[in-house]
Amino acid sequence: MENNFLIDSDELPESALAKKHRLETDPSSRTDHMKYLPGMDVIESDVCQKVMSEMKSYDYTKYTASDVRRALAKDKCDIEDFKALLSPAAEPYLEQMAAKAKLETSRHFGNTVYLFTPLYIANYCENYCVYCGFNCYNKINRLKLTMEQIEHEMKVIADSGMEEILILTGESPTKSDVKYIGEACKIARKYFRMVGIEIYPVNVDDYKYLHECGVDYVTVFQETYDTDKYETLHLMGNKRVWPYRFDAQERALMGGMRGVAFSALLGLSDFRKDALASALHVYYLQRKYPYAEMSLSCPRLRPIINNDTINPLDVGEKQLCQILCAYRIFLPFVGITVSSRETAEFRNGIVKIAATKVSAGVSTGIGDHEEKYTGIESEDDCGDEQFEISDGRSLKKMYSDISEEGLQPVFNDYIFVS
């Protein structure tokens, strides 16, 4: 994959510009986004067919106020009820949905809110995803941390009191291979009780290896479950293969991971259908792997470097709140994470209703946690960020704000025995 030019060239080579133009203007120049590439595990799961069948047949315009009231009156929400709660007909009932969601959250999670922080260790990428700041044609400062730098970053974060970390990379198996990620996870195990990864999808054996390196859970964003829209957004790279990405969480569970997390990037396509598919992805996998921990995220599009026109298309805070409340009512047992893409005010409110986990002390850049956590400017270069965050509160401030809302911030609730 030709993307090294992003590091040391002021301009894209003519050949790269020509290839970029072809990918953008000529669909026939792109590989088949539904066809597996050589070396990719094919696990023949039945989950995808179930999810896609429900999503494609979902007509949210047919639901009425009576459907919503019926769903809210039931003790247990089924798929049809969930569809009603995601529909436009449910918008006038948001207050009632919030009250029911808050009750379910309290029943299953008590008064707690879990805190974690993400750590980006590399931002090289071999995919051309038109909405992402890391995409291989975006001229940004690329960086891959050494193991010494990773350990330094982790120590800075751990010294703040944080006990859970989410390790992220750009999607470059060449620059950030599985062994590199595994070594970073071994270091993380020295400092944190919970270690998660959000990396490019890999095969079952690779997930098994990463689990042996100390990984507890795997997060994968499907981005959008709309396969036609997905094809127009992911023009090059392994990420273009839609079904391989869809099955990533199941491969992770087959590799021994304790938990998996799911998400669509709301605003890429029809957000109601993407929200339905995300939740059903959890719903069907939970029935297949009942021992596994499942969680949902709900990110919206954010502005990225070199493109100030990318924003949520049609997903306002009211619609986002509706989705989160519907998630909680339909899947009362799942964790729900609200990222720093959202404002402090929104996150302060939603943790009292439906969300159970928030990030704190966040940076989506590479190698800048020392400055963020201690105020001491690093002497090393830093890599550019993947997207702009909205809530930049420190861990200390986040902890204080959550406590003032009458909730209990929690760093970890696992006891490890040997």
Q: What torsion, rounded to 10 degrees, do the Cα atoms 370, 372, 377, 380 define?
A: 50
pLDDT (tens digit per residue) in 13-67: 658 888 988 999 999 999 999 999 999 999 999 999 999 999 999 999 999 999 9
pLDDT of the residue at 134: 83
Residues 248 and 254: their CA atoms lie apart, in Å, by 10
Cβ–Cβ under 8 Å, residues 102 and 354: yes
Does residue 14 form part of some domain?
yes
Does residue 416 form part of some domain?
no
Does residue 175 form part of some domain?
yes
Reduced to 3 states (helix: H, G, I; strand: E, B; else coil), residue 85 is: helix
CATH number at residue 379: 3.20.20.70
Q: State how far Cα 70 lies from the chain centre.
A: 32
The answer to whether residue 3 scores a pLDDT higher than 50 is no
Q: Scanning the structure block, which residue is given the tokens 């948001």?
A: 94
Containing domain of residue 106, as a range? 5-410
The least confident of 109-118, 389-398, 408-417 is: 408-417
Work out how many domains the chain is built from and give that number: 1
Does residue 231 form part of some domain?
yes
Pick from 333, 357, 343: which is nearest to 393 by CA? 343
Pick from 243, 247, 238, 172: which is nearest to 207 by CA? 247
pLDDT of the residue at 360: 86
pLDDT of the residue at 346: 92
pLDDT (tens digit per residue) in 342-365: 888 999 999 999 999 998 887 667
For β-strands 234-236 and 128-129, DSSP reports them as antiparallel
Does residue 57 form part of some domain?
yes
Type of residue numbered 179: K
Predicted TM-score of the model (pTM): 0.90
Does residue 418 form part of some domain?
no
Cβ–Cβ under 8 Å, residues 404 and 187: no
Does residue 158 form part of some domain?
yes
**DSSP character for 290?**
T
**DSSP character for 269?**
S
Does residue 359 form part of some domain?
yes
